């Protein structure tokens, strides 16, 4: 019953909600980002970060420091926090927390399959995988030749198994099919997550519906823009769009037939929430679209913390941390390559 969660939520979720709100207070602020953007070397970055909550994770790193090390250690912190929350959680919160990581699992699967296709070493690929999306038997992915084998050998035991029913074909795996597989899996995952949140009901359903709908719409726009000029047919493109969200179904119809960015813009400007995003970009510019979408996402994620007694705060916190790690990676790369003028191109401030 929406509105009465306050009476029973704290039985199982009160402690973890308080913990996640404590973690949120440790996110880097605009002042921290300003300090980091003015660093000259990676050592300076490490020094500034050691005053924040990342201190214990970075202090034992020997110099010379690499950007990948910084990102890896920061991701490690996120993984530790996630695992602590997961082991304290009961149903249905534990299922909810696991759902948050399936996106990373999909990315890892695609990474290993693509890498194997280009004949890279499995160990090297495993090191590049995101730690939140690891599962046992992930290394066996390198053996599969086509999708049926992929499913039968490895994926049938993972939580991703139900998402495969739509994309098993007998074709061999090549770059195009792998991208289609990734997007089909992600579509099934988003729809499943959406249904799960609706089943939970109450404030969780309302807040997560909004966040997931934005995610679905953003992916639809990205799929459209990335497939302009490729051999992806209109029907195939339409099949990759999720069946919920603000753009469903009329926006999807129009996006499926768009042939260039201006047509995409014309479609999106009919929807008030997205019109404000697209109005920031002048005609013909698509590089800043990513940053505009990230800013909108961060705004919505911060709003999830305004309400108490729902699970959306966990999802919002994980996403905000990932955004912070993206920011740190961008800043580190700019500093390492001496391109500090471009630092503000892609950093999204959270507070």
If binding is defined by CB under 8 A, does position 87 make contact with another protein?
no
To another protein, the closest distance from the beta carbon of 238 in angstroms equals 44
Of 15-23, 70-78, 201-209, 317-325, the window that binds another protein (rule: CB under 8 A) is 15-23
The first and second tokens of residue 156, run together, are 């049938």
Taking CB under 8 A as the criterion, which residues in 20-59 touch another protein?
A: 21-23, 25-26
Binding status of residue 81 toward another protein by CB under 8 A? no
SS3 at position 236 = helix
How far is the C-alpha of 99 from the C-alpha of 11, rounded, in Å?
Answer: 22
Least CB distance to another protein at residue 22 (A): 3
Residue (25 or 287) nearer to another protein, CB: 25
| Nearer Cβ to another protein (11/91) | 11
Residue 14 engages another protein in binding (rule: CB under 8 A): yes
Alpha-helix runs per DSSP H in the chain: 5-24, 30-37, 42-49, 55-58, 67-88, 93-117, 122-128, 147-153, 175-200, 202-227, 234-239, 250-256, 261-268, 272-278, 287-304, 312-336
If binding is defined by CB under 8 A, does position 1 make contact with another protein?
no
- Nearer CB in complex with another protein: 5/179: 5
Check if the beta carbon of residue 338 is closer than 8 Å to that of residue 123: no
Q: Is 141 in contact with 112 (CB distance < 8 Å)?
A: yes
Q: What are phi and psi of 119, to 5 degrees?
A: 60, 50
The site string for another protein over 252-291 (x = CB under 8 A, - otherwise) reads: ----------------------------------------
Question: Which of 16, 74, 147, 220 is in the footprint of another protein by CB under 8 A?
Answer: 16
Is residue 18 within the footprint of another protein (CB under 8 A)?
A: yes
Q: Are 80 and 23 in contact (CB under 8 A)?
A: no
- List the Cα angle 120/125/131 in 5-degree steps: 170
302 binds another protein (CB under 8 A): no
Min dist CB 84 to another protein, Å, is: 10
Binding site for another protein (CB under 8 A): 6-7, 10-11, 14-19, 21-23, 25-26, 308
């Amino acid at each position: 019953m929406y509105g009465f969660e306050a009476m029973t939520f704290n039985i199982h979720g009160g402690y973890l909600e308080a913990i996640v709100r404590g973690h949120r207070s440790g996110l880097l602020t605009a002042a921290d980002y300003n300090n980091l953007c003015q660093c000259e070397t990676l050592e300076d970055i490490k020094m500034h970060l050691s005053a924040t909550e990342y201190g214990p994770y970075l202090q034992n790193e020997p110099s010379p420091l690499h950007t990948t090390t910084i990102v890896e250690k920061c991701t490690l912190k996120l993984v530790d926090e996630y695992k602590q929350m997961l082991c304290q959680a009961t149903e249905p919160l534990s299922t909810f927390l696991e759902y948050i990581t399936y996106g990373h699992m999909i990315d890892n699967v695609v990474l290993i399959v693509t890498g194997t296709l280009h004949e890279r070493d499995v160990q090297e690929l495993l090191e590049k995988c995101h730690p939140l999306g690891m599962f046992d038997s992930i290394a066996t992915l390198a053996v599969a030749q086509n999708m049926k084998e992929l499913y039968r050998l490895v994926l049938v035991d993972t939580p991703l198994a139900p998402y495969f029913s739509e994309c098993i074909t007998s074709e061999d795996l090549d770059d195009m099919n792998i991208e289609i597989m990734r997007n089909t899996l992600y579509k099934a995952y988003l729809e499943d997550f959406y249904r799960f949140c609706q089943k939970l009901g109450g404030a969780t359903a309302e807040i997560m519906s909004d966040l997931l709908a934005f995610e679905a719409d953003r992916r639809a726009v990205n799929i459209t823009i990335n497939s302009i000029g490729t051999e992806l047919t209109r029907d195939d493109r339409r099949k990759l769009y999720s069946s919920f969200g603000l753009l469903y179904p009329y926006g999807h119809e129009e996006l499926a037939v768009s042939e260039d960015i201006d047509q995409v813009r014309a479609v999106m400007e009919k929807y008030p929430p997205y019109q404000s995003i697209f109005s920031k970009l002048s005609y013909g510019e698509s590089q800043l679209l990513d940053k505009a979408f990230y800013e909108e996402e961060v705004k919505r994620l911060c709003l999830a913390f305004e309400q108490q007694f729902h699970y959306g705060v966990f999802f919002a916190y994980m996403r905000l941390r990932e955004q912070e790690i993206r920011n740190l990676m961008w800043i580190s790369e700019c500093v390492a390559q001496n391109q500090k003028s471009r630092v503000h191109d892609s950093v999204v401030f959270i507070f």
